Structure 1
C-alpha cells in the first residue's frame, strides 16, 4: 500500500451556529479541526491508508488542539513543526440554508506559512508515496517556493503528485488567486482536482477543452472536475466519463471536496500506484478509475451530511453503510 503525505495548512474552522438568514439569538462558533490538506490526510487515515501530515502549527492552544486531533484520527504527525513566531490559523465559517459555506480567514500571519524545506523530516521521500498539495500554500512567495520544491522532490522520487486547486481567493493579498503560481503547481501534478468554477477561473478566455488538453499534454494523468452535488467529469489522455454522486441532504459542505479527494487517493493507494516509470500506467485503467471516483463521490456525499471536517470524514465501515443505503 502506498503511503499518503499531505502538506500545507492545518487550521481551526470556527463554525457558526447560524444557518442562512437566521439572525435570531446570539451567534456562537464551535471549533472544528480543519485545513484542506490536513483533512485529506485524515480522510485517508480513516480509510485505513498510512497517512502523514507535514506542516507547521503555532505553539498555542489551537495548535495543541489540531495536533491532538490529527493523532487521534491516525495521522502520523512526526513531520509537524511548532513555532512561537506566528499563531495557528483560524477560519470563521458561515453556512447558508443548503449548507454551502463562506470563509473569513485569520491568515496571514499564520504558522503554516512559515514551513521551509529545512523543516522536512529526513528521508521523507526515501520511497515512493502519494504527495497531496493545494493552492493555499502558494499565497506568499516563500511558502510557494517550499510547495513547488516539494512537488519536484516527490516527482524525482517516483511519487505521485496530487493537486487540489481549492482556490480561496480571500487568502491572496490582492483578493484574487494568482493564476501563475497555481498553474506552476498544477502542471507539476499527475492528478488534478478542480471545481467547475475553478476551471472557469483558471482557463480565462481559453476554451475549456483546449485548456484540459494542454494539461494532459503537459503530463497530468488524471483530471477530475467536480460540480457540487452534480456529476464529476473525469479526463485522461485516452478516456472521458462522468460519475454521479449519491443524493444526500447537505448540512455542511466544508469537508466535501477534501473527503472526495481523500477517498480517491486512498483507493489509488491501495492499488499501489506510486511506482511511476515502471510500466504501471494506472491512468489507462478506466474501470479502476471509475471505481476510485465512485468511492470518492460516496466519501464526499457522506462528509456533507455532518458538521465540521475530521469527524465528518467516513471510515471504511461508514462508507459501506452508505453504499448499502444507496
Structure 2
C-alpha cells in the first residue's frame, strides 16, 4: 500500500493530504519501466562477457587450438632453418671445396622477397602479425631449399665427373711387378742404345720377357694401335682430362683404334719391335700434349717403399733401351 503524504497549510493552520497527479504517476511508472530495461540490458552485456554460448565457446577453443598449432609450426620452421643452415655450411666448406667449386653467394642463399607487399591479404585478422611472419618464414625456407637442392644436384654431377676423372687418370704400372725383371731406364736425358748419343728419354723402360701382358693404366679410348718405325707395335690411349699414354715396342697388339678400355684391360704384350735394344716396354704419360715423368702415376700399385726404390733406379743416368 502506497504511503500517504501530507503537507502543512499555514493558512488553515492544519495538515492537508498531498494529491498525486495522474500524469506524474504515469511518468514515474514509465521511468521505472525504462530503468528496469536499462539495467537488464547493461546486465546482459556484462553477463555475456563472462558467459558464452556453446558456439562461442567452440569458436574460442578452435582459435586457441589454431594459435597453438601456429606456434608449434613456427618452432618447427626455426628448427628446419637451423638444419638447412648446417647443410649450407657443409656444402660451402666441405663439398664444394673438395670438388673445387665456388661457394654459393650469400645474397643468393638469403632468399628475400622485394617489391609489393605479397602478404597484404593476411592483414585485418586478430593474429595477422603471427600468420604473416610464419607465411614469410615458410616462403624464405622454401626458396633456400630450392637453392640448396640445385647446389646438391651440381655436387652430385661434380662427384660423378670426379669419379670418372679418377678412373681415367693413369694410376698403375702397365706391367705387373711380378712380371718385371727390372725398371731399366727412367725419365730424363739418356744415351740412346742405337744412336749412341744423349737425348731426352720421355718415358720409362720396363724389361720383361717377350709375351708379358701389358695393361691400360686408366680408362680411355684407343686412338692409335699400329706399327711405327721407331716405336714398333705401339698403342696410344686418350684418357681425357688432358692425359694420354703410349705403350711401345709390343710383340703383339691386343686392341684396336676406337675401342673403349678400362684400367687394367689387356692391350698387348711386351716385345722388341722398332728401335729397341732388348725386350721391354717403353711407357710414356702426356699431360696437355707434353710428356711428364710416369713415375708419379703409379700410386695405385706401389707402396711407399717400392716407390722410393723405383725413384732411386729411375734417377740413375745410363743407357735407355730405345
Q: Do the structures match in fold with TM over 0.5?
A: no
TM-score relative to the length of structure 2:
0.21
Bigger Rg, which one: 2
- By relative contact order (CA 8 Å, sep 6+), the higher-ranking structure is 1
TM-score relative to the length of structure 1:
0.20
